[in-house]
Amino acid sequence: MFENLTNKLESVFSKLRRAGKLTEKNIQEGLKEVRLALLEADVNFRVVKDFIKSVEGKALGQQVLSSITPGQQIVKIVHDELINLMGEHSEKIEFSQRPPTVIMLAGLQGSGKTTTAGKLGNLLKKEGHRPLLVPADPYRPAAIAQLKTIGKQAGIEVYSSETNISPVITCKKALEQAKGSNLDVVIIDTAGRLHIDQELMEELKNIISNVPVNEKLLVADSMAGQDAVNIAKEFNSNIELTGIILTKMDGDARGGAALSIKAVTQKPIKFIGMGEKLDALEVFHPERMASRILGMGDILSLVEKAQKVVDEKKTLELEKKIREETFTLEDFKDQLLQIKSMGPLEELIGMIPGLGNTKKLKDLSVDEKEFGKIEAIINSMTGKERLNYTLINGNRRKRIARGSGTTIQDVNKLLKQFAQMKKMMKVFASGKKGKFMKLPFMQ
């Protein structure tokens, strides 16, 4: 996400920091490179023009030029302007005071609308809501079947829609069912088209006229860049959107749509899709995204991810084991599985301040296959061996390697790293400072 832009901006700011004393000339040279970087990231031309003008006006102020760290001051100005560009603060769903809240998802075919309906339902369910998914696409039977499958996976009720029934009738009946079943959110998955046409817009307008829609969210493919921005502009002019969901953000190395769409439509990005799994939909935080774009990391999102998967009771037990020096290979495996469930490692490391720049990530050479290898090795051990790794002699190592489909060298490597980790934990438990050891998946 934003890989190309992050690298280029990091290069520009490195030059400005090295300059020591900043002048009007080197600031303008730096901003010229920032301008080119934004245009190459497929950011709207007018948005780039206004952005650079705003940054330049603040960067050339006496307060910045006379500062002890002018380079850092400019980074802060760019950071603040990026936040303004993307919406200043996060915006969530506006729930109706008289449930159910009706959320209509609109967009073109291939934008990920049906999958996003399931993800949004899953997210709201975790927040304590009772959603109903409504397939309002009578032209594509596969869309109805797909939504039913997704609903079953998420444990969310799906309205039994039929083909050849008008979307308006489907939505009205679904709303009555939601009221009767005490469901407080109705998510309508509308029909898409290969391109925008008047028939599509009229269909959406008919739903809005006949059903009390609270949220009109456009689902747009972030990787479409300026096309996504133009699509959002067209939908907004026809049905007055309340927000946008950008999908496939995890694969968008440029980021033009995310940086342009709010400025062009004046509608907030409410959620972003960060993968194919049901839980891969996140609330969009402009301030966190600005930090990630500038390689500053995103520690708050990392903490939130951890809180979702970390078992508080297990954490307290782990702390006790570390202090009492009873941490075992079974405990080690549990910790690795918790980390794995938080998402791709490179994404997690990118959220750590100071490691946001992908050039630094390349040095870490994160290999997620190591997780599976370590898990297989530990699973091939007996209960006694997991509790006391010192029992594992030469013959046992051969047996474990055969059972896990790995080599004796892999087993030796894991046991050596585990022994080092035990020593490190002993140092931490005693309150002394120790050197940080590389984790097994960071070679």
pLDDT tens digits for 343-375? Answer: 665 565 555 554 455 444 444 444 567 778 888
Angle at 319 between CA 318 and CA 321, to 5 degrees: 60
424 annotated among ligand-binding-site residues: no
Q: What is the mean pLDDT of the chain?
A: 82
Residue with tokens 């009229």: 202
**For the chain, what are the domain ranges?**
3-86, 101-291, 303-429
Q: Which of 11-15, 28-32, 138-142 has the lowest mean pLDDT?
A: 138-142
190 is in an annotated binding site: yes
Asked if the domains 3-86 and 101-291 are classified in one and the same CATH topology, the answer is: no
d(CA 72, CA 64): 9
Place of tokens 């690795």: 336
In angstroms, how far is CA 355 from the centroid of its own chain?
17
Whether 191 has a binding-site annotation, put simply, is: yes
Rounded Cα distance between 38 and 59, Å, is 18
Mean pLDDT computed over 227-241: 92
Q: Does residue 42 have a known ligand-binding role?
A: no
Q: Is 108 annotated as a binding residue?
A: yes
Residue 317 has pLDDT above 60, yes or no: yes
Does the annotation list 180 as a binding residue?
no
Identify the bridge partners of residue 281 per DSSP, sorted by sequence position.
273
Determine if residue 82 is labeled as part of a ligand binding site: no
128 pLDDT higher than 50? yes
pLDDT above 90 for 115 = yes
What pTM value is reported for the model?
0.69
Place of tokens 């009221």: 179
- Three-point CA angle 354, 358, 361, nearest 5°: 75
Mean pLDDT along residues 280-305:
73
Is 54 labeled as ligand-binding? no
Residue 287 has pLDDT above 90, yes or no: no
Q: Assign 327 a pLDDT band (cuts: 50, 70, 90).
A: confident
Question: Is residue 415 marked as binding?
Answer: no
Q: Return phi, psi of residue 134, to 5°.
A: -125, 110
What's the token pair of residue 311? 């078992």
User: Is 112 within any annotated ligand binding site?
Assistant: yes
* Whether the predicted pLDDT of 58 surpasses 90: no
Architecture of domain 101-291: 3-Layer(aba) Sandwich (3.40)
Q: Please report the pLDDT score of residue 377 as a whole number.
A: 93
For the segment(s) 303-429, the CATH number from 1.10.260.30, 3.40.50.150, 3.20.20.70, 3.30.420.10 is 1.10.260.30
Q: Which fold has domain 3-86?
A: Four Helix Bundle (Hemerythrin (Met), subunit A) (1.20.120)
Q: Identify each DSSP E strand in 204-323 by its residue range.
A: 215-221, 243-247, 269-273, 281-283
- On whether 217 is known to bind a ligand per the annotation, the reply is no
